[in-house]
């Protein structure tokens, strides 16, 4: 376990070392922000994309994690985030080469953190799957998009912005439905009976996928 100051330092160093990383932050109970936030690294900062209304948009101010403030904008904008780990349950940042995981132990002022590398050398007995897997985010990509970001919407949960590291949906989308999905690398292990199971997974990025690719993937899994 490490204290919150060490955790903040680990996040800061990871951001400096991984300029193409994306990820998410999950707020703790009682934090002003209640929903998970998808973020990406931009010029040495974690940034999030937010909607604007009446010529202003709210974003995370650089001096306080969950404070919002109006800024001059026409449609949408990004804002830098100062990572206050005392207000978070989980931090997960990742790119193709590495992943940072930090999980808070509430009420202790401490948390557990780990950086997983591409080679998984820290667990040499695990067997990586040949192809990355996908985990679809809830909702569908809408016609509103900005370079490197897409807006994902669903009638039940509303909308949110997702940073994209692979794929670029057309704007406008046309007739085909597009989705956003986490790309993951799964690692297998065997139990004492010789049965294979997924022992771990490492996130690689967030992809934009047309419905045709999502359906093809599901059909292939059904045939296996």
Domain-embedded: residue 212: yes
Report the number of distinct structural domains present in the chain. Answer: 2
Domain that holds residue 166: 127-223
Nearest to 22 by CA among 79, 117, 91: 91
The answer to whether residues 197 and 218 belong to one domain is: yes
The answer to whether residues 14 and 112 belong to one domain is: yes
Final residue in a domain of this structure, among 76, 92, 117: 117
- The band of 52, judged by pLDDT with boundaries at 50, 70 and 90, is low
The answer to whether residues 88 and 148 belong to one domain is: no
Domain-embedded: residue 107: yes
% of residues, the chain, pLDDT over 70 = 70
Nearest to 77 by CA among 40, 51, 53, 43: 51
Is the per-residue pLDDT at 182 higher than 60?
yes
Average pLDDT, integer, range 16-21: 91
The answer to whether residues 137 and 64 belong to one domain is: no
């Amino acid at each position: 376990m490490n204290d919150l100051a060490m955790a903040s330092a680990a996040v800061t160093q990871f951001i400096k070392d991984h300029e193409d990383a994306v990820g998410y932050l999950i707020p703790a109970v009682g934090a002003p922000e209640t929903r998970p936030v998808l973020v990406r690294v931009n010029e040495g900062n974690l940034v999030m994309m937010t909607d604007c209304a009446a010529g202003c948009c709210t974003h995370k101010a650089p001096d306080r994690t969950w404070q919002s403030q109006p800024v001059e904008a026409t449609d949408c904008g990004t804002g830098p985030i100062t990572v206050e780990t005392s207000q978070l349950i989980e931090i997960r940042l990742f790119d193709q080469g590495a992943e940072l995981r930090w999980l808070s132990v509430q009420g202790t002022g401490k948390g557990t953190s780990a950086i997983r590398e591409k080679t998984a050398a820290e667990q040499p007995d695990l067997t990586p799957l040949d192809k990355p897997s996908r985990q679809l985010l809830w909702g569908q990509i809408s016609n509103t998009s900005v370079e490197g970001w897409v807006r994902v919407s669903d009638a039940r949960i509303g909308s949110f912005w997702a940073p994209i590291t692979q794929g670029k949906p057309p704007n406008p989308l046309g007739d085909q439905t597009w989705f956003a999905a986490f790309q993951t690398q799964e690692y297998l292990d065997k139990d004492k009976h010789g049965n294979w199971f997924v022992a771990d997974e490492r996130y690689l990025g967030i992809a934009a996928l047309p419905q045709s690719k999502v359906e093809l993937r599901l059909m292939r899994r059904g045939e296996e």
